[in-house]
């Protein structure tokens, strides 16, 4: 059997990816320190697939525990999600972000090298593009200086992996996500933001649920069709399936170079107001929102040219925005 390590496998995108890996017949091992996830997610994964992933709770910043894990577990491939990911928090705690996201990655790579693990999928982000000059954004778009420490850790992570793949002849794919949204159709797993949500969709669903008083729309003076900012909202299960396709590409040796990058988005941009309207229509609810000033660091528009992932990974995200927003609401109602 093929044993796949998923770090951060009890988190939002990680847990959806574990489900898709198990459906494809992979044996999955999870490392998660539960710093931004909940232990009950493990049982929920088992409820969905009928298979309980092997789970090890420790922090990748612990070099000794990380090395010991690889000595005790045969691993054929790694999908690395475990990282801190809140843009705003990273500006208040940059050193925590560098330590967690970079030291954790380095410990993982050193152990992978020591134990001949050749296949590595990295969770990256479209944030590395900043405000791209040309839309839609393809993988050749220039990397711009990140606005946040979080974004810088993703850029550094990619550079570290490019050198790792070259120096030690390892196969690496970096997946640059646009905006992941939604939850599994079972409503057993989904996004679990801690505290006040930074991201749009959890704030929308919590407002609809009455947990938040009112959604603030950050700015309606952008140069867009309705003045609100544009993003590419990708359904989390479509995103998870792209990870399985990337892993199979590496394991079967179909990769055309040791370090490959793919943009994972739908290719369609939606404004904040379009998302609000789609949410209300899809779920037959009324959302309480108000327009406020722009949020510092936000860009006007980002949406993907996903043709490379489509052509080379054979991946086609087909889930409509409205369906993804329905799953987000169904999940919120279980919380
Ligand atoms: C989306 C749009 C906001 C909240 C960031 C990171 C990215 C990834 C996803 C981690 C923007 C607007 C939001 C609200 C609003 N992070 N908004 N009111 O900023 O595109 O991407 O999160 O993996 O790397 O950069 O996502 O969901 O925060 O914002 O109006 O209460 O919604 O201004 O236009 P973002 P977001």
Q: Quick check: helix, strand or coil at residue 71? A: helix
Cβ–ligand 1 distance for 217 under 6 Å, the answer yes
pLDDT recorded at residue 297: 87
- Ligand 1 geometric centre to CA of 124 (Å): 15
Which of 25, 151, 39, 40 is CA-nearest to residue 87?
A: 151
pLDDT recorded at residue 333: 98
The angle formed by the CA atoms of residues 321, 183 and 137, to the nearest 5 degrees, is 45
Q: Whose CA is nearest to atom 13 of ligand 1?
A: 200
What is the number of other CB atoms lying within 10 angstroms of the CB of residue 95?
8
What ligand 1 atom has the least distance to the C-alpha of 275? 32
Long-range contacts of 50-58 (CB under 8 A, 24+ apart): 51/22, 53/6, 53/9, 53/18, 53/22, 53/28, 53/29, 54/27, 54/28, 54/29, 54/30, 55/9, 55/10, 55/29, 55/30, 56/29, 56/30, 56/31, 57/31, 57/32, 57/33, 58/31, 58/33
pLDDT recorded at residue 103: 98
3-state class percentages of the chain: helix first, strand second, coil last, to nearest 5: 40, 15, 40
- Ligand 1 geometric centre to CA of 198 (Å): 7
What ligand 1 atom has the least distance to the C-alpha of 151? 24
Tell me if 50 sits within 8 A of 23, measured CB to CB: no
Q: Whose CA is nearest to atom 26 of ligand 1?
A: 199
End-to-end CA distance of the chain: 36
Which of 259, 278, 260 is CA-nearest to residue 268?
A: 278
User: What are the C-alpha distances in Å from 131 to residues 127, 174, 189, 298?
Assistant: 8, 20, 32, 9
pLDDT recorded at residue 88: 86
Mutational pocket test of ligand 1: of 218, 219, 292, 324, the residue with most ligand atoms within 8 Å of the beta carbon:
218
What ligand 1 atom has the least distance to the C-alpha of 197? 31
Cβ–ligand 1 distance for 46 under 6 Å, the answer no
Q: Whose CA is nearest to atom 18 of ligand 1?
A: 217
Residues belonging to the active site: 150
Tell me if 282 sits within 8 A of 322, measured CB to CB: yes
Cβ–ligand 1 distance for 300 under 6 Å, the answer no
Q: Three-state SS string across 57-68, please? A: CCCCCCHHHHHH
- Ligand 1 geometric centre to CA of 179 (Å): 8
Rounded CA-CA distance 276/4 in Å is 38
pLDDT recorded at residue 48: 98
- Ligand 1 geometric centre to CA of 200 (Å): 6
Q: Please name the residue that has the structure tokens 């070099």.
A: 63
Q: What is the pLDDT along the chain (335 residues), one digit of tens a residue?
A: 799 999 999 999 999 999 999 999 999 999 999 999 999 999 999 999 999 999 999 999 999 999 999 999 999 999 999 999 998 899 999 999 999 999 999 999 999 999 999 999 999 999 999 999 999 999 999 999 888 999 999 999 999 999 999 999 999 999 999 999 999 999 999 999 989 999 999 999 999 999 999 999 999 999 999 999 999 999 999 999 999 999 999 999 999 999 999 999 999 999 999 999 999 999 999 999 999 999 988 999 999 999 999 999 999 999 999 999 999 999 999 99
């Amino acid at each position: 059997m093929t044993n796949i390590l998923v770090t951060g496998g009890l988190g939002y995108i990680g847990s959806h990816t574990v489900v898709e890996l198990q459906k494809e017949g992979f044996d999955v091992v999870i490392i998660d320190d539960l710093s931004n996830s909940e232990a009950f997610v493990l049982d929920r994964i088992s409820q969905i697939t009928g298979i309980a992933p092997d789970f090890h709770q420790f922090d990748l910043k612990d070099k000794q525990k990380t090395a010991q894990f690889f000595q005790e577990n045969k691993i054929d491939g790694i999908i690395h999600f475990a990282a801190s990911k809140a843009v705003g928090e990273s500006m208040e705690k940059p050193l925590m972000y560098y330590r967690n996201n970079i030291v954790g990655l380095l410990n993982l790579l050193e152990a992978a090298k020591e134990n001949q693990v050749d296949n590595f999928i990295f969770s990256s982000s479209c944030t590395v593009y900043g405000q791209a000059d040309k839309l839609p954004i393809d993988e050749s778009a220039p990397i711009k200086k990140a606005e946040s420490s979080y974004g810088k850790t993703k850029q550094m992570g990619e550079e570290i992996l490019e050198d790792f793949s070259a120096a030690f002849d390892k196969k690496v794919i970096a997946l640059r996500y646009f905006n992941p949204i939604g939850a599994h159709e079972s409503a057993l797993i989904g996004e679990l933001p801690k505290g006040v949500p930074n991201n749009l969709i959890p704030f929308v669903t919590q407002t609809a649920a009455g947990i938040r008083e009112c959604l603030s729309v950050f700015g309606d003076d952008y140069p867009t069709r309705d003045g609100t900012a544009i993003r590419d909202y990708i359904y989390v299960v479509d995103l998870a399936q792209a990870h399985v396709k990337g892993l199979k590409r590496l394991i079967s040796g179909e990769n055309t170079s040791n370090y490959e990058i793919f943009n994972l988005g739908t290719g369609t941009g939606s404004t904040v107001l379009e998302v609000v309207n789609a949410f209300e229509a899809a779920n037959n609810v009324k959302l309480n929102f108000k327009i406020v000033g722009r949020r510092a660091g936000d860009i006007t528009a980002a949406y993907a040219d996903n043709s490379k992932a489509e052509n080379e990974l054979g991946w086609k995200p087909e889930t409509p925005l409205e369906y993804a927003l329905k799953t987000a609401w169904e999940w919120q109602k279980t919380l």
